[in-house]
Amino acid sequence: MTYKAVAYISTAISGLTAQQLDHLLVDARAHNQIAGVTGVLLYDGRRFFQYFEGPTEGVERIYGRIRSSVLHHDLVELHHYPIEFPYFTQWNMGCKEVEDSVLQKISTQQWMREADHLQEVDGEIGSPALHDLVEFWSQIQTDVTPT
């Protein structure tokens, strides 16, 4: 099976409500589960950062839904490459509200790299951005229930 991962940052629509965000998450989790896609969504109250991964076909289908969503705009793709295996296998769509500094740090890391730099080498994740995201998520996952 071939896997792919996508990371992007976007701006939430003005006035996005907690109810809209909850609906977005419930909908995303259902579609991701069907497509075999896993990942995490970070939200700072103004911007989204999302990393998702899975079978290539499922990722492309989910990415099409994301690009057509009316709940955000100014989507900037940071990463869209094959991966050897998924990193967030327990999370159909983990979500965490974070400080804008955390979102800024993760989204400005070096994401656009050759695909082989994104794979683990001797147990270490090669991409600084993916390494930081996995490390951050590992630290906070005790506060977040897998979904």
Domain span at residue 18 reads 3-143
Residue 8 has a pLDDT of 96
CATH classification of the domain holding 99: 3.30.70.100
What local confidence, expressed as pLDDT, does residue 74 receive? Answer: 97
What average pLDDT score do residues 93-103 get? Answer: 84
Q: What's at 97, amino acid-wise?
A: E
- Please indicate, yes or no, whether the overall pTM of this predicted structure exceeds 0.95: no
| Contact between residue 88 and residue 26 where contact means Cβ atoms under 8 Å apart | no
Residue-averaged pLDDT of the chain: 83
**Rounded CA gap, 17 and 103, in Å?**
19
Contact call for residues 4 and 56 (beta carbons, < 8 A): yes
User: Of 113, 112, 93, 99, which Cα lies nearest the Cα of 41?
Assistant: 93
CA distances from 86 to 1, 3, 17 (A): 11, 7, 31
Helix (H, G, I), strand (E, B) or coil at 56: helix
Instruction: Determine the Cα–Cα distance for residues 126 and 49; give it in Å rounded to an integer.
Output: 20
Q: Is 111 left (phi over 0), alpha (psi -120 to 50) or beta?
A: alpha
Alpha helices in the chain (DSSP H): 18-35, 56-67, 100-107, 128-140
Q: What is the pLDDT of residue 133?
A: 82
Number of domains the chain is built from: 1
pLDDT for 50 beyond 70: yes
Q: Per mean pLDDT, which range of 63-72, 113-122, 136-145 is the poorest?
A: 113-122
CA distance 14 to 28: 20
